[in-house]
Structure formats: structure tokens, C-alpha cells
Amino acid sequence: MLKPKAISLNYDDRNDRIRLIFRHPTAKERTDGYLTRRFLMRSMPQLVDWLAEKAAHSAGNEKSSMSELTGNQKQTLAQFEHQGAQRRIPTTKEPMKTDEENISQFLISAISVRSNKEEKIELTLMEQEKKPKVRLQLTRAELHKLISELLSLAEKADWSLPDYWEPSVNVVTVNTGMH
């Protein structure tokens, strides 16, 4: 299983997929994982909810446990953490290399997320039959940044994904000004 130190992202217009490019430690090979719009739409709410729970847990103290926080409070904490990560975690932009050899590819069909003892997040990307292909060790801020970049590419691709950091609203009231 590949354990890369960095991820490059780009939108593959021809296949209408987001490509995650993982460099092998030897730098002579690379592995490309592809995300479809459908998979991103299905997995993003679960990732955001998981991060909201982790943000609430880290914000909780002896006087206020995370179980006392409402869903909106957890969402607000996660949104605040997400916005901070977007500013703090650096990215670089460069042209896509097209002359590389030894490129293996896979379609990302499942994601596993869990915390480890070092306060790191293990993000495992799996191919068909849920076979682990790539495992990343990330901080919460780095995962927020990765999600932010994925959503930015999805927006540029015109995938029409919702804003997962805003609480969902079931009822909208319009005041008519009538007395």
C-alpha cells in the first residue's frame, strides 16, 4: 500500500473526474486515484460530519462535554476549523506533467477515516472490492484543506455540489410585510 507524503489534484476534463496524484517515495512512479462526482457527493457529508464530531470533541472540556453541543454548534465549530485550515495550510500550483512513465491508476470506490493515538487521521483510499490502495496520515487541518481543494475543483468542474459546511435547512420563511 502506498503512503505518499504529498497529493496533487487536478480535474480530468476528458473523463469528468477529479484526479488525486500520489508520488511514490522513489519519485520514479506515481499512482493516480480518480474521484467521480457521484462518489464525492456520497462521501463528503460523512467526512464533514466526522470532522464536526472531532472538532466538537477537541473543543469539549470538563464543564462542557461534546454530548451537550447541538448539531448546529458542532457544525459551526467544524466550519470555523475548516476556514482556519484553508488559510494556514499552504499549497503550490504548477502545470500538470504529461511526460511521466510508470503511472498506475485506480478508481476510488471507498474511503476509511479514523483517528490514531498521535492525533493524526488515517485516510485510506480503496479501489474495487474495498482493497486499500493509498493510506495518508493527516492532521485535521490537512484533511480540511484537502476537502477544500476537492470542493474547489468540483466547483470549477460545475458539479453543483452543496456547501457542506452550512447547516441544512428544512424550512425557509419569507416575511411578507403584511400587517
Those residues with Cβ within 8 angstroms of residue 81's Cβ, 6 or more apart along the chain or in another chain: 51, 55, 140, 141, 144
Lowest pLDDT segment from 50-54, 102-106, 111-115, 122-126: 50-54
- Distance CA(152)–CA(155), nearest Å, equals 5
In the chain, domain spans: 7-156
Which is more confident, 37 or 68?
37
Strand 121-127 and strand 110-115: pairing?
antiparallel
What is the pTM for the complete model shown? 0.74
Q: Diameter of the chain by CA atoms?
A: 73
Give 63's pLDDT tier (boundaries 50, 70, 90).
very low
Q: In whole angstroms, how far apart are CA 177 and each of 171, 174?
A: 19, 9
